[in-house]
Chain A
Amino acid sequence: DADVTQTPRNRITKTGKRIMLECSQTKGHDRMYWYRQDPGLGLRLIYYSFDVKDINKGEISDGYSVSRQAQAKFSLSLESAIPNQTALYFCATSDLLGGGKETQYFGPGTRLLVL
């Protein structure tokens, strides 16, 4: 079974709609992240959370919001979707080992198309 799961895996929506992408993990990690990936731009960090009471903006947070409902759950919302939010979205968790070593474990991704 996957340690990091995302739902839905694919979503088509219309401009102006509110949508939520959900992420769950069974790895027991405190740290969770949301990224988007666009062709030619690489992965960019949207929001991150180091524990249940901690939420931080990443590089491209405008137009997005998040909720950390529990250690295992981190959801991403698009309040009013727009076409340039069409992308592949990844959730990730990480452990933090000594010496700054940190491994990111990614979910399978959600493909979002905003028409």
Chain B
Amino acid sequence: RKEVEQDPGPFNVPEGATVAFNCTYSNSASQSFFWYRQDCRKEPKLLMSVYSSGNEDGRFTAQLNRASQYISLLIRDSKLSDSATYLCVVKYSGAGSYQLTFGKGTKLSVIP
């Protein structure tokens, strides 16, 4: 059962490029959405939450489309330090139920 699906990657892009990652989710009752970043052999860390109206944090822009059950992450002016795996995360929480589902991740390599 694939509840959260991401672009398979890997994405190999030159420095300065713009790159976009997509993610779809199957539970229409999902309430909250996030992008996490995971460096090789390290723990995941929150990159940004995704808000309904879309949100931006420096070079990073996240978008949510509830009707299409689709989330995106745009990275502008890619840096070498952006090389990592990006995890799409979807949360559902209700009476007696809690689901935090991670996508398998998309690997990004930024090349000099």
Give bound CA distance, A83 to B20, whole Å: 37
Asked if B91 and A102 make an inter-chain contact with CB atoms under 8 angstroms apart, the answer reads: yes
Asked if B91 and A106 make an inter-chain contact with CB atoms under 8 angstroms apart, the answer reads: no
Contacts of A99 in B (CB 8 A): 32
Chain B positions 73 through 112: 1 when the CB is less than 8 Å from some CB of chain A, otherwise 0: 0000000000000010101010000101011110000000
For the complex, is B57 an interface residue (Cβ under 8 Å from A)?
no
Chain A positions 21 through 50: 1 when the CB is less than 8 Å from some CB of chain B, otherwise 0: 000000000000101000011111100101
Contact of B43 among A42, A44, A106 (CB under 8 A): A106
Give bound CA distance, A50 to B93, whole Å: 12
Chain B positions 10 through 42: 1 when the CB is less than 8 Å from some CB of chain A, otherwise 0: 000000000000000000000110001000001
Given A40-B104, A106-B45, verify A48-B98 contact (CB < 8 Å).
Answer: yes
Give bound CA distance, A111 to B45, whole Å: 18
For the complex, is B9 an interface residue (Cβ under 8 Å from A)?
no
Asked if A100 and B91 make an inter-chain contact with CB atoms under 8 angstroms apart, the answer reads: yes
Contacts of A50 in B (CB 8 A): 98
For the complex, is A74 an interface residue (Cβ under 8 Å from B)?
no
- Enumerate A93-112 residues with CB–CB distance to B below 8 Å: 99-104, 106-109
**A-to-B contact residues, CB < 8 Å:** 33, 35, 40-45, 48, 50, 56, 90, 99-104, 106-109
**10 A-B pairs with the lowest CB-CB distances in the bound complex, closest first:** A106-B43, A42-B104, A43-B102, A100-B32, A103-B46, A42-B102, A100-B31, A106-B44, A108-B43, A109-B43
